[in-house]
Chains A and B, each alone.
Chain A
Amino acid sequence: MLLSFDNVTKTFPNGTLALDRVNLSIASGEFVSLVGPSGCGKSTALRLIAGLIEPSAGKVAWTHAKPSVGFVFQDAALMPWATVAKNVRLPLELTRKDDAEADRRVADTLELVGLTKFANAYPRELSGGMRMRVSIARALATDASVLLMDEPFAALDELTRDRLNDELRELWAVKNLTIVFVTHSVYESVYLSSRVIAMSQRPGRVIADIAMTEPKTRTRDFRMTTAYGERCRDVRSALQRELATP
């Protein structure tokens, strides 16, 4: 086990109860997707894992020491005034890595996401898909072993999204990452992950936890299989049952 939520409750200062006694655990190397209706607390759960906010009650516990965590935001959240290389370098500078080390890691991660040629471009010169790759490179620059992604591909067109989905699967496998991925899309969650967690309307609770570790390597053909279709239906019906209850 990598980390667990023990009865985690989050109430915001304005009284909004976002998460209500959530229990879940995530194992090292899993690719977990969180799906659920808008406002159910998915982003809140990610921010709790990242340690950006603290639970109001209960505990977010890491089994061993908290590893290096990378965060990918919905609209890439790049610094528009800095080049691609400088954006990727930011976490390294904030954590005070020495220059040579930082140079090497920036080069490595840019290569990993296929953006070496764009190191000196500014974000506005890039397409949405490329910006997202920069954001992923930035999250991985510190050698993060856990990647938290909040609807990263929601704003992209479908073809770009499919391609980035494949690239992300590959990255996950190659780098042995643990990924927690928030999405609105049932199809995306089933295609990508080894486990889909469906959440109720606010306050968020876990209403379904659907594992799907096979197949390991997934191509476009996987979308045509019955296993894929069945899983999509499972997740969808869990969400619909939830939406039907007032």
Chain B
Amino acid sequence: MSRERIWGYGLPALVAVATMGFWEWIVYALDIKHFVLPAPSAIAAAAIESWGSLMDATWVTIRVTVIAFVLALIFGIAFATLFAQSRTIERALFPYAVTLQVTPVVAIAPLILIWVGPDNAERAVLILATIVAFFPILANATLGLRSADRQLHELFDLYGASRWQRLIRLQFPAALPNILTGMKISGGLALIGAVVAEFAAGSGTSTGLAWVILQAGFNLKVAKAFAALGLLAAIGITIYALLSLLERHALKHWHESARPPE
């Protein structure tokens, strides 16, 4: 491992250890009540105690997030492809995509819940998370599909390329960096969407980590809430790390952003 990478991992780890130590110390030193701020050791104990239910909730949240992300990816790229075919279609539909994006998800949650039926809260959460994650992929993919080099377009003209050939061999590869950027943003948003939507719509049948946090808050089990929060952060970081890895791998041969340091 290069010195560069040791610092890249080591430094944040060092910060984490120092923060934990200080946190533990300050809780005991100032005798802070456990329902205000539990010590890291208390959080760990709570996590071990409720491990089973926490893992169930984690699994639910991961499932919703991943499915919402995949749906957002499919719809985002499908609509971007449509927009790239014609400016008229884009002009007609893009305002609605923007409207969907700027309307707060909390505000549409009750409506969606009514439409899918209150017994299907998880489906409502899924739809809402998809809506939240959809736009960055749409916007970035649309931009990317239009950004292919003009001379390369002329080359495709010269050889009488079909619309399909142009899309697959020119526009998609050219759009890949943008699509990956959109995916990195949407990955995080899918998780945020899954959590916020569960807060807003998840009464009763939905059982993700957001619901655990709400319940724990009601019961003043703050340590458990912190444990759930830690798991949410871990999911978020994992998603980002995986997508960054994918990005680096996909672009390593050609994109300036993936050029190894000299």
Question: Which residues of A line the B interface, CB within 8 A?
Answer: 47, 50-52, 69, 71, 73-75, 77, 79-82, 90-91, 93-95, 122-124, 142
Contact = CB atoms under 8 A, between A and B. Distances in A.
A82 B176 CA distance: 13
Nearest to B251: A81
B58 to A, nearest CB: 37
29 contacts: A50-B158, A51-B158, A52-B154, A52-B157, A52-B158, A71-B155, A71-B158, A73-B155, A75-B151, A77-B149, A77-B152, A79-B170, A79-B173, A81-B173, A81-B176, A90-B159, A90-B169, A91-B158, A91-B159, A93-B165, A93-B169, A94-B156, A94-B159, A94-B160, A94-B161, A94-B169, A124-B254, A124-B259, A142-B159
Determine the main DSSP class of B at the interface with A.
helix
A103 to B, nearest CB: 18
A119 to B, nearest CB: 14
B255 interface: yes
Contacts of B253: 81, 122, 124
| Residue from the set A69, A73, A79 with the largest chain B CB neighbour count within 10 Å | A79
A94 B165 contact: yes
A69 B173 contact: no
B254 A81 contact: yes
Interface in B155-188: 155-161, 165, 169-170, 173-174, 176
A122 B160 contact: no
A79 B253 CA distance: 12
Given A50-B158, A94-B160, A79 B165 contact: no
CB-CB nearest 10 A-B residue pairs: A77-B151, A94-B159, A80-B254, A73-B151, A81-B173, A122-B253, A81-B254, A94-B161, A91-B159, A95-B159
Interface residues of B, number: 21
A214 B173 CA distance: 47
Contacts of A142: 159
Contact of A47 (B154, B170, B176, B254): B154
A124 to B, nearest CB: 6
Contacts of A50: 158
| Residue from the set B154, B165, B176 with the largest chain A CB neighbour count within 10 Å | B154
A231 to B, nearest CB: 31
Contacts of A94: 156, 159-161, 165, 169
Contact of B152 (A69, A79, A93, A95): A79
Contacts of B156: 94
A93 B166 CA distance: 12
Contacts of A47: 154
Contact of A122 (B157, B161, B174, B254): B254
A123 B151 contact: no
A90 B169 CA distance: 9
Contacts of A74: 151
Contacts of A69: 158
A46 to B, nearest CB: 10
A90 B254 contact: no
Interface in B169-226: 169-170, 173-174, 176
Nearest to A91: B159
A115 B170 CA distance: 24
A130 B162 CA distance: 29
Contacts of A51: 158
A19 B177 CA distance: 39
Contacts of A123: 254
A73 B151 CA distance: 7
Contacts of A80: 254-255
